[in-house]
A and B are shown apart, each in its own frame.
Chain A
Amino acid sequence: MVPWVPPGLISDPNLPALMILGLMAGLLALDDTALAQTWFGQPLPAAILTGYLFGDPVTGLAVGLPLQLVLAGNLPVGQTFTGDPTSATVAAVGGSLLAGRPLSPVSVADTAGTLPLLGWVLLGAGLLSMLGHPLIQAERRVNGIWMLKGLHSLRDGRLARIENLHNRCLLTAFLRGLVSGILFTLVIHGVWVPLFAHLPSLLQTSLGTLPLLLPGLGVGTLIDRYGLKNSWHWMALGMVGTFFAARYFSGVLP
């Protein structure tokens, strides 16, 4: 136990669960850029899959949906790649569930109850994703070094070297996801969620507002990408039509 940390703040991790989360993060990290790019590594599906893994897809939905919306404008393209939302999302859902704190989606959560904790977990996921950014950049720098090693094959024509180097890069992406997933889960489960109870009430109230701000923020980012002038009428069409349809068929809403 660390002496300066309040008692009960750091709880014991569950090793098999951590390993499963690490494997999940590793596989989804591969999907992000290195392998197939199926988009199952996006925050919403990653969160739901993690939720299913622990028997609570609703917590996955609660965390994944606002994260997915706010990260909708991020492009996973070469140089513009930012953050590691995949590992952060897996850790946020897994860490919360391991800490025994299931979460509810914004539309059913009460503002005084689970909403502030959801805001706190979302903030943690965002910060961890930013923390994962230098790791991804380091991985790409290592890829660059190995790529330069492949120049030897241009002299000796040894094809096995090229095969090994590429496979090594693939393995590194998986291991980076696995390690990030485990470390981030430890942070969320052991420190971040327990720390919530020690936050000042003003900050807790503000955190309750955070999940409500994020969907608009994400949609606003997309409007910025599409261009307000080009997109407003199509968006207005979708918004007005859906709003009235949802009000009319309110029985079908969860």
Chain B
Amino acid sequence: MNPDLTRKSPEPAARMSRGLQWSLWLRSLSLQASWNHQRMQNLGLLWNVLPWLRRKKRHINRDRLFCRRYYGFFNTNPYLANFLIGGLIRLEEDLADRPAAESEFIGTFRDSVGRALASLGDQLFWLGLRPTLIMLICFSGLLGQVSSILIILGIFTVSQLVLRWLALQRGYELGMDIVDLLFDKRWHLWIARTKRAGMVLSGMVIGLYLAQVADTGVSPGRGMLWIGTGLGIGLPVILRKRLPGEAMIPAALILALLLTFAI
């Protein structure tokens, strides 16, 4: 069932009540707290949207069905999840007086938009912004700017909290039309830009490190940097799998022992 809920009419943008927005926003920060292997963020999502249901008069049968709608497998990107949460609240409101069968459509909407946001968010945050920010704080660390590391992360924290707040309202305004948002070409532009920034910053970290070890006279430093880089690129190729960073440390120790023997 796919009820006609698109809103392209010139009516003023819908606004979520401030109290509900605060409540949803605060809860959205812990969307992943109950992450589990079976259904991932399902419990977190249901917990997230409960403030909306709590504002209604108790109705056991409706509450039961509401819980059922949100208890299936669910996974999305936590930073972009609020677009979907806002949209879901809007759909719940729009479908509140419709037959129960129509409400099942919410599950389909949740799954498809959730998956699309997960994919965009993984590319933008985990593979784009995260390495970029990590390299930026490492660059600051190499310069000995300890407090600037905390400032950079503070700026990121405030920005992502603001994004989550705005996304909630935007998702609510758009409702079903969030789908249009997913096709916005700017997502891919930002993904490409953040990845490129990460690449340049990685090069900057290498450049600064090389200059520092050359200046401070840590004699084997330069050679070790290149050997380490070669090992980092080569190990996944040789082993045909990516090792977690923790496993790289003992691997590097074995290499260090071999180098000590060789020297």
Query: Do B195 and A154 touch (CB < 8 A)?
Result: no
Over the window 101-127 of chain A, the binary record of Cβ atoms lying under 8 Å from chain B Cβ atoms (1 yes, 0 no) is: 000011111010000000100110111
Q: Which residues of B contact A107 (CB under 8 A)?
A: 142, 209, 212-213, 216, 218
Q: Name the interface size band of chain A.
A: 35 or more
The answer to whether B64 touches A65 (Cβ under 8 A) is no
CA distance in complex: A163, B67 (Å): 12
Beyond A210-B252, A220-B230, A225-B131, is A169–B203 a contact (Cβ under 8 Å)?
Answer: no
Cα separation A57 to B147 with both chains bound (whole Å)? 9
Range of interface residues on chain B?
35 or more
CA distance A165 to B249 in the complex (A): 37
Q: Provide the main secondary structure of the chain B interface.
A: helix
Residue from B29, B209, B231 with most neighbouring chain A CB atoms (10 Å): B209
- Given A106-B218, A130-B246, A254-B144; A78-B207 close (CB under 8 Å): no
Please give the distance in Å from A57's CB to the nearest CB on chain B.
5
Is A242 touching B67 in the complex (CB atoms < 8 A)? Answer: no
- Decide if A22 is an interface residue (CB 8 Å cutoff): no
User: Which of chain B's residues 124-146 have a Cβ closer than 8 Å to chain A?
Assistant: 126-127, 130-131, 133-135, 137-138, 141-144, 146
B208 within 8 A of A: yes
Other-chain contact of B71, A108, A154, A156 (Cβ < 8 Å)? A154
- Chain B residues contacting A244 (CB-CB under 8 Å) are 207
Q: Tell me how far the C-beta of A141 lies from the nearest C-beta in chain B, rounded to whole angstroms.
A: 7
- Any A CB within 8 A of the CB of B120: no
- C-alpha gap A225/B221 in the complex (Å): 24
B43–A68 contact, CB under 8 A?
A: no
Pick the residue among B126, B204, B245 that contacts A218 (CB under 8 A): B245
| Contact of A222 with B43 in the complex, beta carbons under 8 Å | no
CA distance A247 to B157 in the complex (A): 33
A197 contacts the other chain (CB 8 A): no
Asked if A100 CB lies within 8 Å of chain B CBs, one says: no
Whether the Cβ atoms of B259 and A157 lie closer than 8 Å is: no
A50 CB–B CB distance under 8 Å:
no
Digit string of B151-169 for contact with A (CB within 8 Å is 1, else 0)?
A: 0010011001100000000
Task: Check A78 against B35 for contact (C-beta < 8 Å).
Answer: yes
For B43, what are the chain A residues with a Cβ–Cβ distance below 8 Å?
143, 146-147, 150, 162, 165-166, 169
Contact B150 A217 (CB under 8 A): no
Q: Chain A CB within 10 Å — which of B38, B71, B232 has the most? A: B232
Cβ-based interface call for A19 (8 A): no
Whether A242 lies near B256 (C-beta < 8 A) is no
Q: Is B179 an interface position by the 8 A CB rule?
A: no
Chain A residues within an 8 Å CB radius of B79: 37
Could you tell me the distance between the alpha carbons of A215 and B141 in the complex, rounded to whole angstroms?
12
Which of A148, A221, A235 neighbours the largest number of chain B CB atoms within 10 Å of its CB? A221
The docked-state distance in angstroms from the alpha carbon of A126 to that of B242 is: 16
What's the least CB distance linking A41 to chain B, in Å? 10
Nearest B residue (CB) for A149: B43
Tell me the smallest distance from the CB of A171 to a CB of chain B, in Å.
Answer: 9
Let me know if B201 is at the binding interface, CB within 8 A: yes
Q: Are A246 and B30 in contact (CB under 8 A)?
A: no
- A56: min CB distance to chain B, Å: 11
Residues of B within 8 A of A70 (CB): 245, 248-249, 252
A residues 202-254 near B (Cβ < 8 Å) are 202-203, 205-207, 209-210, 212-226, 228, 230-231, 234-247, 250, 252-254
Binding site for A on B (CB under 8 A): 29-30, 32-40, 42-44, 46-47, 50, 53-54, 60-64, 67-68, 71, 75, 78-79, 122, 126-127, 130-131, 133-135, 137-138, 141-144, 146, 149-150, 153, 156-157, 160-161, 195-196, 198-216, 218-221, 224-237, 242, 244-250, 252-253, 255-257, 259-260
Would you list 21 pairs from A and B whose C-beta atoms are within 8 A, ordered by A residue? A48-B146, A61-B144, A70-B252, A72-B134, A73-B245, A75-B127, A126-B245, A144-B37, A166-B33, A170-B33, A207-B253, A212-B218, A212-B225, A213-B224, A216-B225, A224-B236, A235-B203, A239-B203, A239-B207, A242-B206, A246-B212
Return the 9 tightest CB-CB contacts between A and B, nearest first: A220-B232, A216-B228, A238-B203, A242-B207, A126-B249, A71-B245, A235-B203, A246-B211, A254-B144
- Taking Cβ atoms with an 8 Å cutoff, the residues of A that contact B are 33-40, 42, 44-45, 48-49, 57-58, 60-61, 64-65, 68-79, 82-83, 85, 105-109, 111, 119, 122-123, 125-127, 129-130, 140-141, 143-144, 146-148, 150-151, 153-157, 159, 162-163, 165-166, 169-170, 173, 202-203, 205-207, 209-210, 212-226, 228, 230-231, 234-247, 250, 252-254
